[in-house]
Amino acid sequence: MSRADTPDAAERPGAQRDPAPVTAGAGAPAGRRLPPSLGLFRSELLITFRRGRTLVLLGVLAAVPVLVGIAVRIETGGGPSRGPGGGPGGPAFLAQVSNNGLFLVFTALAVTLPFFLPMAVGVVAGDALAGESAAGTLRYLLVAPAGRTRLLLTKYATVTVFCLAATLVVAVSALAVGALLFPLGDLVTISGTRIGYGEGLLRALLIALVVAASLTGIAALGLFVSTLTGSGIAAMAATVGLLITVQILDQIPQLHAIHPYLFTHHWMSFADLMREPVYWDALVRNLGLQALYAAVFGSAAWARFAAKDITA
């Protein structure tokens, strides 16, 4: 990561020589200030989402539904799909896109979840601490009132917000493109029942939230990797490499015994929200597994970061 992509230490609330908390911002009444933790979190959010790399990642994610929508439009000529429906994967959703533009939301999430979304999260998470260390700003961030535990929690919270933002960018882009290119109306679920458009929108939002939660495991893993090195590029590459490795392991039939314990294994379970009634078993297993990964690698990151020599 270049220094041009990293803010000066003076921009950080913990890096100021005057340890006063960050103000609430323009328009806030005089004397009202943000608590140190909220000030640090607000600063991290602003810095993360102002980075050119972050904006490029979000732009690429927003472009995926556009490309999928245009491809389906060209393939079907704007007419209704005659392909089979019903099924948990991306192709089954893809067959329904020309019948109802809302299905483009489900299709875009199914297309981006295996690689594009987790790769973007891995890049942001891997650079969270290693990038600061490489730029020489990490030591300034640990000046009071920002301690190591508070900084680590703030970094993870920021990456979690990015997980949600990235997922919503895909969903909103797909919803807009679907409304422009295809008809909208009632939805036929995977189970063959029909639900109203309003309920379909609610399910699309719920699916987006589940997909965002599915990324918290790779976020914690990336943050842990970020504590192991002082190079942001190395941390990002290692996180993405681990993601690819886990996905390869998940595709080897001979390793079926370990598949249920891989954080990628239940990612596509969000499709069960399009059943009537909803199948909750795989969804609960997925969310529980992500929580376990977050707890294990979050604890490992804290143990490593607490003992890390940041003066070297």
What's the whole-number mean pLDDT along residues 111-129? 93
Cα end-to-end distance, the chain, whole Å: 18
Residue 26 has pLDDT above 80, yes or no: no
Residue 260 has pLDDT above 50, yes or no: yes
What's the whole-number mean pLDDT along residues 301-305? 92
Question: Quick one: pLDDT at residue 214?
Answer: 97
Structure confidence by residue, pLDDT tens digits, 143-168: 655 678 888 999 999 999 999 999 99
**Measured distance CA(256)–CA(241) in Å, rounded:** 21
Structure confidence by residue, pLDDT tens digits, 153-208: 999 999 999 999 999 999 999 999 999 999 998 888 888 889 999 999 999 999 99
pTM of the model: 0.82
**Measured distance CA(239)–CA(158) in Å, rounded:** 17
Q: Where are the domains of the chain?
A: 34-306
Q: Tokens at residue 295, please? A: 């707890």
**Measured distance CA(166)–CA(174) in Å, rounded:** 12
User: Is residue 258 packed enough to be buried (19+ CB in 10 Å), middle (13-18) or exposed (0-12)?
Assistant: exposed
Per-residue b/e over 68-106, b at no fewer than 16 CB within 10 Å? Answer: bbeebbeebeeeebeeeeeebebebbbbbbbbbbbbbbb
With a pLDDT cut of 70, the percent of the chain lying above it is 78
- Give the pLDDT band of residue 83 (cuts 50, 70, 90): very low
Residue 80 has pLDDT above 90, yes or no: no
Question: Quick one: pLDDT at residue 4?
Answer: 44
Residue 14 has pLDDT above 70, yes or no: no
Q: What is the DSSP letter of 129?
A: H
Structure confidence by residue, pLDDT tens digits, 43-55: 889 989 999 999 9
**Measured distance CA(182)–CA(177) in Å, rounded:** 8
What's the whole-number mean pLDDT along residues 267-273? 93
